[in-house]
Amino acid sequence: MEETILKVEHLYKLFRSREIGASEETAIEMLQQGLSPAEIRAKTGIVVASNDVSFEVKRGEIFTLIGLSGSGKSTIIRCLNMLHRPTSGHIYVENEDITKYDEEQLMKLRRTKVAMVFQNFGLMDHRDVLSNVAYGLEIKGVNKKERESKALEMVALVGLEGWENKRIDNLSGGMKQRVGIARALANDPDILLMDEAFSALDPLVRNDLQFELLGIQEKMQKTIVFITHDINEAFKLGNHVGILREGEMVQLTTPEEMLANPADDYVRKFIDNVDSTKVLSVKNIMVTPGAMIKAGDGVNIALKSMKSNGLSSAYVVGEHMQFQGLITLENALAVRAGQLNFEEAIIRDIPIIKDIHTPIADIVNLAANARFPLVVVADDGSLQGIVSKAAILSSFSG
Amino acid sequence: MEWILDFPSTIRLDFTKQIDAFIAYLNVHYADFFAGLKAILNSVIGGIYQGLELIPWWLLILFVVLLTKKLVGRYRTGLLYGLLMFLIGAFGYWHMMNETLSIVITAVILSLLLGLPIGILISTSVKVNSIFRPVLDAMQTMPTFVYMIPAVMLLGPGKVPAVLATVIYAVVPVIRLTSHGIQQVDKEVVEAARSFGSSRWQILAKVQIPQALPTIMAGVNQTMMMAVAMVVTCAMIGANGLGMEVLIAINRTESGRGLVAGICIVIIAIIIDRLTQSVSAKGGR
């Protein structure tokens, strides 16, 4: 963890508008004289996307950059593999200044050391999953057999076995991004750049992928630069977090330190959004119960339903899906043995949630003390779904 | 004060003589070049015609039936197209169809050989695009006869100037749609390809062209259609075939003959259109 693999020094990136001919150099001078990016934009038409940004990333760590849209984070990450050429400043990858590289050297850098994952995946829909993953190897000139076996390995790593030959259009958003990650990893890069990689995904899938990314990182010890606008994501993933405003680094530290001592109101505002369980509601994590029987069905159907679903309990509902209770395998067997009657066997004291928009934070205590998953019912008492303790836990840790 | 109302008669620009002189100059000094060009194109057109003539009529019909089955996926459509082709033969126009096809096929091959690279070139540079745009507009809107006259003067009447005139008219859509298709490719996909260290050539060959293929194929289809549409115009400069038949019928005011020959052209156009369209639909997905 000690060695610095990536170092950014006084990085400026300015975008010149076509109409007004002021040079970037004058604009940088104006910045250094203390003019704000907004003033410079009004005067010269030049947009300051990165304003004197410096940071270091150690080998094997996850460094997250966070900022609102337009804060320059996407520009900065594109400077790290020179998709954008910085206006001034230096970027060192393993102590080599890549801003001095020519096109040939840059191609080599991108093929071997730095790979990128994109917000909207950037996948080629004329290729299947496997040849998308193999793309980086293909352009390096790796032979077909070798690149396909490597690609298969990566597809397995991101949990997409069996999907190798599927078309990209057939995948969900989460799966597409798994392909994106596999494609980047197939090149075996030292540094992985992730530009809002999970922002286009829905919260649950995002949680899964964050969790898996941490797992992959644990296994492969990559260095990751992760861009996000979501502070929860930044804190969950990052060993260090840099927070950007209008192209300027406002604070650069560990998540704990940032939580304890936010540099200013801008940072504080971000931090106010931290608790992820406030964002996720019951609706996001509830699932349909596997085994469900009608009250009139009797014990044999209950047993059969449990057996065919591989579960040890079944939910009992009335004629119009009204939730009545739960019957365990133990009780059902007792009924069949004649020790209990069916009505007595149904457990009815199960905590019920009436609003599917209840934040998860509000049901933690309820769930902690419950013996069975919580039950979610609609206003008319009909069963909507169940929320297991495991689901609640993973919504925290993911 | 008359000049306010009427364009002043003292201002007169006349380039017509110079242009005539230029064409005459070309005709005299580059006769060998044009003769060579004519010979080459003639042998291509002739070769394709001979090739088509070698195919027995029933084999070509069978081929169309099977190809349609493969591309469109239905025997019924294939049989319909086969029947339509049979009609052309039954009208007595089989050989003329082959003649017309040889002109159309040569023109389409030339158009694609020129159009695809130019389309790719235009897509890569704003500057090239701004140069080519007015040229393409001119090619599409200039009345065909305007360049047919010098073409006939330089190459003599026949199929060769017909092919060249067809190329000028029909090459535009494949250029436009190739460049449009490539420019339309998702920026992030191109950026991703770049981020993995692709060279410009690799980006073009492995990402941009495959991604643009449905649009490019639509351009190819348009080019083919326009080439077929030029058939009658080409007959005016001496290209034999179905177009000539229509032209003769018009001159003699023989409505029936004109209509039947016209229908044969329509049949050819429809079959080519449907088949290339299904290729482009398949290329996309």
Q: Tell me whether residue A176 is in a domain.
A: no
Residue A118 lies in a domain: no
Closest partner residue to B197 (CB to CB) among A107, A120, A127 is: A107
pLDDT score, position A321? 83
CB B209 within 8 A of CB B178: no
One-letter amino acid of B59: L
Q: Judge if A336 and A233 occupy the same domain.
A: no
Does A27 fall in a domain? yes
Of A108, A121, A124, the CB nearest to B197: A108
Q: What is the pLDDT of residue A397?
A: 52
- pLDDT at residue number A391: 78
Other C-beta atoms lying within 10 Å of the C-beta of residue A138: 21
Domain shared by A199 and A83, yes or no:
yes
CB contact under 8 A, B197 and A139: yes
Q: Look at residue B197 and tell me if it is in a domain.
A: yes
Burial of A268 by CB count in 10 Å (0-12 exposed, 13-18 middle, 19+ buried)? exposed
Are A110 and B211 an interchain contact pair (Cβ–Cβ within 8 Å)?
Answer: no
For residue B69, pLDDT over 60 is answered with yes
At residue A66, what are phi and psi to the nearest 5 degrees? -130, 145
Cβ contacts below 8 Å, chain A against chain B, sum to: 65
Of A122, A183, A187, the CB nearest to B191: A122
A103 assigned to some structural domain: yes
Of A245-249, A381-385, B102-106, minimum mean pLDDT range = A381-385
A residues 89-108 lying closer than 8 A (beta carbon) to B: 106-108
Residue A120 lies in a domain: no
Could you read off the pLDDT of A369-389 as tens digits, one per residue? 888 888 888 888 888 888 888
Q: For residue A398, what pLDDT is reported?
A: 41
Give B-chain residues touching A118 at CB under 8 angstroms.
188, 191-192
Token couple for B178: 């190739």
Residues of A with Cβ-Cβ distance to B199 under 8 angstroms: 107, 139
Note the pLDDT of residue B246: 94
Domain count, chain A: 2
- Structure token pair of residue A299: 């014990």
Name chain B contacts of A121, Cβ cutoff 8 Å: 188
A179 found inside a domain: no
Q: Which of residues 112-131 of A touch B (CB under 8 A)?
A: 112, 114-116, 118-127
What pLDDT is recorded for position A115?
Answer: 94
- Residue B101 has a pLDDT of 94
Helix ranges restricted to H, A99-191: 103-112, 129-133, 135-140, 144-157, 173-186
Using beta carbons and an 8 Å cutoff, which residues of B are at the interface with A? 186, 188-189, 191-199, 202, 206-207, 210-211, 213
Q: If you average pLDDT over residues A160-175, what whole number do you get?
A: 90
CB A317 within 8 A of CB A293: yes
- CB contact (8 A) between residue B197 and residue A110: yes
Q: Are residues A268 and A301 in the same domain?
A: no
Considering its fold, how many domains does chain B have in total?
1
Task: List the domain range (segments joined by +) for residue A57.
Answer: 4-113+189-274
Mean pLDDT value across chain A: 87
Give percent of chain B with pLDDT exceeding 90: 72
Nearest Cα of chain A lies from the Cα of B210 at a distance, in angstroms, of 7
| Residue A386, number of CB atoms within 10 A of its CB | 22
The domain that holds B236 is classified in CATH as 1.10.3720.10
A23 within domain boundaries: yes
In a shared domain, residues A234 and A317: no
Q: What is the pLDDT of residue B192?
A: 95
Q: Which residues contact A97 (CB under 8 A, 6 or more apart)?
A: A90, A91
pLDDT in tens, A265-309: 888 888 877 655 545 678 778 888 878 888 888 888 888 888 888
One domain for residues A47 and A88: yes
Residue A267 and residue A289 in one domain: no
A286 shares a domain with A270: no
Contact call for A124 and B191, based on CB within 8 A: no
Instruction: Identify the pLDDT of residue B150.
Output: 86
Query: Mean pLDDT throughout A50-63?
Result: 92
Structure confidence at residue A277 (pLDDT): 52
For residue B241, is it within any domain? yes
CA-based nearest distance B194→chain A, Å? 8
Q: Does A81 touch chain B (CB under 8 A)?
A: yes
Would you call A83 an interface residue with chain B, using a CB distance cutoff of 8 Å?
yes
Mean of the pLDDT values across residues B159-185?
93
Q: What is the CATH number of the domain that holds A340?
A: 3.10.580.10
In a domain, B195, yes or no: yes
pLDDT, residue B73, reads 83
| ipTM for this model | 0.75
Give the whole-angstrom CA distance, residue A341 versus residue A331. Answer: 9
Residue B70 located in a structural domain: no
Which of A241, A274, A307 terminates a domain? The answer is: A274
d(CA A379, CA A368) in angstroms, rounded, equals: 24
Please answer yes or no on whether B211 and A124 come within 8 Å at the CB atom. yes
**Judgement on whether residues A28 and A72 belong to the same structural domain of the protein:** yes
Residues A221 and A289 in one domain: no
- The reply to whether A136 touches chain B by the CB within 8 Å rule is yes
pLDDT tens profile A98-143? 999 999 999 999 999 999 999 999 999 899 999 999 999 999 999 9
- The Cα B144–Cα B139 span in angstroms is 9
Q: Is A231 helix (H, G, I), strand (E, B) or coil?
A: helix
A209 & A249 share domain? yes
Same-domain status, A244 and A386: no
Q: Are residues A97 and A223 in the same domain?
A: yes
Asked whether residue A92 is domain-assigned, the answer is: yes
Residue-wise pLDDT for B44-61, tens only, equals 999 999 999 999 999 999
CATH of the domain at A41: 3.40.50.300
